[in-house]
Chain A
C-alpha cells in the first residue's frame, strides 16, 4: 500500500522529455492500466489513439499553444492571474511564470513529446467524464511506475472551437469526444511537487464544512 501511495505522491506533470523512443510494449501497459479502470454500468467508453506522427503532434501542439495562450492572456489582462500568483513574491519568477502561461508555452511542448496518447470516449454511456478521468489517472500512474513521464494537456480540447479542429485532425467520428491528450516520454526534468491543501482543509465529517472536534 505504501508503494502505491509513493507512486501517487511522486508522479509529476512532465513537460520536457528525452529524445528516446518509447517502446510499444510500455504504451500497451499504460493503456492496459486504463482499460482496467472502473466505469459506470461497465460502459468502458474509452478509446485511445497513439500518436507518434510529427505532423499530427505539431498540429496538436499548435492548437494547444493557442488554446492556452488565449486563455492565459485573458486571465492576465483581467488581473486574475496576478491574484492567482499573489503568494509568489519573487518578481523574476513571477514574470517568468506569466510569460510561460501567456505565451502558450505551458502547453506547446506537446509537439516535442515522443508519444501522445489521445484519450477519447464514446458518448452513449452514462458517465463519460468520470469514466474517462479514472482511466486517465490509472494511465498516468502506470506511466510513472514504468519510469516514464506524462502530462495531461487539455488545452487543445477545452474550448469547443479547438475541440472541433482536433476531432477533424484525428478523424474522430460523431458520437465520440476527445477527453484529453496525454503526453508520454522519458522525463528530462524533475519538477518539485506542487503545493497541496492539507487533509484538514479538505476533509469534513458527516456534512460539508464540519471539522473533527479537537
Chain B
C-alpha cells in the first residue's frame, strides 16, 4: 500500500539523503517531485485559479489530499495555499522531527507545474509550513514577473 509505514520510511530516507547531500539546494532539485502524476491527467484552465482547482480536484479524487484552498495578495504576486490531510504529510512530519527542513510539497509542485505550463507564469515555492496536529500545511508561493 502506498501509505504504509515502510513506504513512508523509504521516502523520508530518500528525502533525508538528498538534503544531506545538497543542503538548501535540495529545495530546487525537488520541484518536479509529483509532477508525473498530474501529467497523466488532463488539466485545463483559463486562469491560475482554475488550474489550481482542477489540479486539486484530481488530487482529491485520488485521495492525495482531502482538500486545498488558496488566497492571493492584491497584486497577484503572493499566493498562500492551504493543503489539508495530504498523503505526504506524515513523511514531512517525520522529517521535521528529525530536524530536516521541509523542502518538498508534491501537491504544490503539481499545481505550480501546471500553472507554469498552462499560464506561462514563473512560480516558486517561498516556504512550506507543516502542521501535523491540524493536518494542514501552509505553502506560500510567489509569481516572478520578468520585466
State the A residues within 8 Å of B (CB). Answer: 65-66, 69-71, 73-75, 77-78, 102-104, 158-161, 164
Specify which chain A residues have a CB less than 8 angstroms from the CB of B32 in the assembled complex: 160-161, 164
| In-complex Cβ contact of A158 among B28, B77, B122, B142 (8 A) | B28
| In-complex Cβ contact of B31 among A69, A75, A104, A159 (8 A) | A159
A interface majority secondary structure:
helix
Question: Which one of B44-52, B60-68, B90-98, B124-132 is at the A interface?
Answer: B124-132
Are A160 and B147 closer than 8 Å at their CB atoms?
no
Are A78 and B127 closer than 8 Å at their CB atoms?
yes
Contact A69 to B127, CB < 8 A, known contacts A77-B78, A158-B28, A159-B28: no
A104 to B124, CA, bound (A): 13
| In-complex Cβ contact of B28 among A66, A71, A73, A75 (8 A) | A71
| In-complex Cβ contact of B140 among A78, A160, A164 (8 A) | A78
Specify which chain B residues have a CB less than 8 angstroms from the CB of A160 in the assembled complex: 28-32
Give the distance to chain B from A133, nearest Cβ to Cβ, in Å.
Answer: 13
Interface centre among B29, B123, B126, B127, by most chain A C-beta atoms within 10 angstroms, is B126
Q: Does B20 contact A (CB under 8 A)?
A: no
Give the distance to chain B from A107, nearest Cβ to Cβ, in Å.
Answer: 12
Q: Does B25 contact A (CB under 8 A)?
A: yes
Contact A69 to B122, CB < 8 A, known contacts A77-B77, A161-B32: yes
Q: Does B116 contact A (CB under 8 A)?
A: yes
Are B146 and A73 closer than 8 Å at their CB atoms?
no
Give the distance to chain A from B76, nearest Cβ to Cβ, in Å.
Answer: 13
Specify which chain B residues have a CB less than 8 angstroms from the CB of A73 in the assembled complex: 77, 124, 142-144
